Amino acid sequence: MNYLSNFQIGAREVVGFGFNGQPNYMDRIDFPLPAVRWRPETPEIKELRQKEKGDWKNLTIAEKKALYRASFCQTLAEVEAPTGK
């Protein structure tokens, strides 16, 4: 990853190839696999990531939602929802 890419994504984790092979984030219905997580890792998220390695039955619904929102800005339903414009 070059300097410009590091500058653009900051401390967010690169987790895959992404839509075009670049480390960027896009909410897309046709390719719902962004290359980087939505938010940088905080101590709270880091703790939840360790907890998720175990049995998911031990995670509360709020913890599961927090993990999801750390990785994604919107759900697919939110992406498809009308904006009113």
CATH of domain 3-80: 1.10.442.10
pLDDT in tens, 29-83: 888 888 899 999 999 999 999 999 999 999 999 999 999 999 999 999 999 999 8
Q: Is the pTM of this model over 0.95?
A: no
The residue among 65 and 28 whose pLDDT is bigger is 65
Would you list the domain boundaries of the chain?
3-80
For residue 3, the model assigns a pLDDT of 45
pLDDT at 4 exceeding the cut of 50: no
Spatial separation of the C-alpha atoms in residues 37 and 35, rounded to whole Å: 7
